[in-house]
Chains A and B, each alone.
Chain A
Amino acid sequence: MNCRSEVLEVTVEARQVEEAMLALLHTILLHRSTGKFHYKKEGTYSIGTVGTQDIDCDFIDFTFVRVSSEELDRAIRKAVSEFKDALSSDGMGQISLEFYQKKKSRWPFSDECIPWEVWSIKVNTVNLANEQERQICREKVGEKLGEKVINVVEVINRHEYLPKMPTQSEVGNVFDTSLKDVQPYLYKITYQITDSLGTSVSTTMRRLIKDTLAL
Chain B
Amino acid sequence: MDSDLSPQDKKDLDKFIKFFALKTVQVIVQARLGEKICTRSSSSPTGSDWFNLAIKDIPEVTHEAKKALAGQLPGIGRSMCVEISLKTSEGDSMELETWCLEMNEKCDKDIKVSYTVYNRLSVLLKSLLAITRVTPAYKLSRKQGHDYVILYRIYFGEVQLGGLGEGFQTVRVGVVGTPVGTVTLSCAYRTNLAFMSSRQFERSAPIMGIIVDHFVDAPGGNPRPINMGQPCNYRAPDDEDGGALGVQDSQEVCTTSFSTSPPSQCVCTLSPSPSKLSKPLPLDSLQLPLAPGLVAHNLYASRLSYQPAPAGGATEFNTNQGLHAGKEVGMVLAPGADVHLTVENAPNTPSSSGDEEGLLRSGEGRSVSPSDTVESLNAFTRKVGAFVNKPSNQITVGLDLPFAAFAPRGLDSEENDPMVNPPDSPPSQSPLQASLHSQGSDGSGQQDDFVMVDFRPAFSKDDLLPMDLGTFYREFQNPPQLASLSLHTSSQSMADDLDSLPEKLRVYEKNIDEFDAFVDMLQ
Contacts and interface: CB of A to CB of B under 8 A. Distances in A.
Interface of A: 27, 30-31, 34-36, 38-40, 42-56, 61, 63-65, 67-69, 131-132, 135, 146, 149-150, 152-154, 156-157, 159, 164-168, 180-182
Contacts of A49: 41-42, 45-46, 49, 52-54
23 contacts: A35-B52, A43-B236, A43-B238, A46-B234, A48-B41, A48-B43, A51-B39, A52-B37, A52-B39, A52-B53, A53-B36, A53-B37, A54-B37, A56-B36, A61-B139, A63-B133, A65-B129, A68-B39, A131-B464, A146-B134, A153-B127, A153-B173, A165-B236
Contact of A54 (B38, B45, B465): B38
A45 to B, nearest CB: 6
A79 B503 CA distance: 72
Nearest to B127: A153
A172 to B, nearest CB: 14
B238 A51 contact: no
Given A43-B239, A168-B236, A181 B43 contact: yes
B10 interface: no
A154 to B, nearest CB: 7
B41 A50 contact: yes
Interface in B9-45: 36-45
Contacts of A30: 126, 129-130
A31 B396 CA distance: 58
Interface of B: 36-46, 49, 52-54, 115, 120, 122-124, 126-127, 129-131, 133-135, 138-139, 142, 171-176, 231-239, 246, 464-465
A68 B38 contact: yes
Rank and list the top 10 A-B pairs by shortest CB-CB distance, nearest first.
A157-B174, A54-B36, A51-B39, A51-B54, A146-B134, A51-B41, A181-B41, A36-B43, A49-B49, A51-B40
A52 B234 contact: no
A210 to B, nearest CB: 44
A167 B129 contact: no
A44 B234 contact: yes
Contacts of A153: 127, 130-131, 173-174
A27 B133 CA distance: 11
Contacts of A39: 236
A149 B187 CA distance: 14
Contacts of A166: 236-237
Given A31-B126, A53-B38, A65-B129, A45 B236 contact: yes
B120 A159 contact: yes
Contacts of A34: 52, 122
A89 to B, nearest CB: 24
Main secondary structure on A side of the interface with B? mixed
A31 B127 contact: yes
Contacts of A167: 236-238
Contacts of B175: 157
Nearest to B55: A52
B466 to A, nearest CB: 10
Nearest to B128: A153
Given A35-B41, A38-B44, A38-B45, A54 B52 contact: no
A56 B143 CA distance: 13
Given A47-B234, A49-B49, A157-B124, A182 B41 contact: yes
A68 B120 CA distance: 20
Contacts of A44: 233-236, 246
Contacts of A149: 130-131, 133-134
Contacts of B171: 150
Given A131-B464, A135-B465, A156-B123, A67 B41 contact: yes
Given A42-B235, A51-B53, A52-B38, 11 more contacts: A35-B43, A36-B44, A43-B238, A44-B246, A49-B53, A63-B36, A64-B130, A135-B465, A149-B134, A153-B131, A166-B237
A46 B41 contact: no
A159 B176 CA distance: 8
Contacts of A181: 41-43
Nearest to A34: B52
B44 to A, nearest CB: 6
A52 B49 CA distance: 13
A167 B235 CA distance: 9
A101 B115 CA distance: 21
Contacts of A40: 233
B237 A164 contact: yes
Given A63-B138, A68-B38, A50 B52 contact: yes
Contacts of A150: 131, 134, 171
B38 A46 contact: no
B37 A46 contact: no
Contacts of B131: 149-150, 153
Residue in B39, B127, B231 with the greatest tally of chain A CB atoms within 10 Å? B127
Nearest to B48: A49
Contacts of B130: 27, 30-31, 64-65, 149, 152-153
Contacts of B41: 35, 48-51, 67-69, 181-182
